Structure 1
Amino acid sequence: MSECGCHHEAKNARERRVLWIALVLNAVMAVIGGFAGWIAQSTGLLADALDMLSDATAYAIGLVAIGRTTRFKANAALLSGGVLLMLGVGVLVEVGRRVMFGAEPLSGWMIGISLLSLAVNVTVLRMLAPLKSGEVHLRATWLFTRADVVANLGVILAGVLVFWLHSPYPDFAIGTLIGLYVIKEAFGILRDAHAEKA
């Protein structure tokens, strides 16, 4: 029975289901977070929304990569890492723009939307846990979501500090930290992908 290939197909079906759920949840939260970040003038929320958009991209690539060659999967992870790197740099540029031109982030929006994002990301992270020791393109999806959980907690803390200090600088700080964290995760994914191709 073990030689019929059934286990391989079942595993792929499970991976597809998990990645589809993660893709939909992250795409929805990226739209909600981006809209809320714009209304709330929060670089932290915008950074978090971009991070979730990059997650949705990673899950889409992961879905395409299932059942493909190791080289294809490594290339998919390279693409994911490259997208994440560009988004991280874009976040830092946006933080700089808001520091220069000013912003008044709304702490209530920051905390509320980040709590919702945190609930989504913890759920997705638990679903992805069995995949974190899998192939490179699947490890990348787990790393993306782990970064999101850290970012959500950071935005919640920044929202509390914005409220307490009546200052936009905690929001600028968390936007910068998320951007740097995203860049660090991107380099980790790119390093894994290059090692897989070697």
Structure 2
Amino acid sequence: MVCNCDHEPAPQKPNGKFRTALWIALILNLLLFVIELIGRAYAHSSALWADALDFFGDVVSYGISLAVMGISLYWRATVALLKGIVMATFGFIVIGKIVYAYVQGIPPEAMTMGVIGVLALIANLVSASLLYAFRHGDANMRSVWLCSRNDAIGNTAVILAAVGVFGTGSLIPDLIVALVISILALTGGYQVIKRALRERKEHQSVTM
């Protein structure tokens, strides 16, 4: 292969504050994933199921982000691209679950939804506040910020869904929130994929 005269800049030294923020976010998300998975089985809530799956995706995302710190920008963008695809895939899976839950027609248990939604919101507000300073970083940094931001919005929606289910006795508020979470995953995944593709193109020549 012909050598390109350009040279790739040395990988950036991992940001210690970013690493610490990621570890805290990873632990919080793992804990809430377990809580929501158990709560979902009891409450029969599509919104909690979607949120639990989202938490698990974030755990994987944060773990990958920790693993790729210090490698080249091209490969960090490649990892971000894969994460964006996973985010978008998650959105489509949730849409399928919404259709299934609608056919089943079983209203969720509102109190469990509300309590777990509040716990999840607190955890994600902590994560989002820690990662806020890195939202304008590379595609990999932006992807983890988007994950936490979307989760906080989703948790707020879960709480509102619990109120709606409690007031109406219907599963429709739960399904609406699950749909909101799926749309957040699809749009967030699109943003990450778009930026990752651009960064891969910008830094591809220096890997040749």
Indicate yes or no: 2:124 matched with 1:118.
Answer: no
**Which residue of structure 1 lines up, in the alignment, with residue 68 of structure 2?**
65
Residues in 2 aligned to 1:184 and 1:133: alpha-carbon distance in whole angstroms: 17
Does the alignment pair 1:76 with 2:79? yes
Structure 2 stretches of 5 or more lacking a match? 1-11, 202-208
Task: Give the drift of 1:12.
Answer: 2.4
Structure 1 runs not aligned, ≥5 long: 1-7
1:27 maps onto 2:20 in alignment:
no
Higher helix residue share: 1
Taking the aligned partners of 1:25 and 1:170, their CA distance within structure 2 comes to 26
Structure 1 residue aligned with 2:94? 91
Give the aligned length.
190
Q: Take 2:110 and 2:173, find their aligned partners in 1: how far apart are those partners?
A: 10
Residue pair 1:95, 1:172 contacting (<8 A) in 2 also: yes
Q: What is the CA-CA distance between 1:16 and the residue it aligns to?
A: 1.7
> Which deviations, in whole Å up to 9, do the C-alpha atoms of 1:120-148 show, x marking residues without a partner?
00001111111111121011100000000
Match of 2:205 in 1: none
Residue 3 of structure 1 aligns with which residue?
none
CA distance in 1, matches of 2:186, 2:37: 19
TM-score, structure 1 normalization: 0.92
- Answer with 1 or 2: which has the greater Rg: 2
In the TM superposition, structure 1's runs of 4+ consecutive aligned residues that sit over 4 Å from their partners are none
Q: Could you tell me which of 138, 141, 148 is aligned with 2:141?
A: 138
Query: Which string of whole-angstrom CA distances, capped at 9 and with x for unpartnered residues, describes residues 62-90 of structure 1?
Result: 10111000111101101111111111111
TM-score (norm 2): 0.88
Q: How far does the alpha carbon of each residue in 1:146-186 deviate from its partner, in whole angstroms, 9 at most, with x for none?
A: 00011011111111010001111110111112112211111
Identity value in percent: 32
Aligned amino acid, residue 96 of structure 1 = V
CA contact (8 A) 1:65 1:137 kept: no
Higher relative contact order (CA 8 A, sep 6+): 2
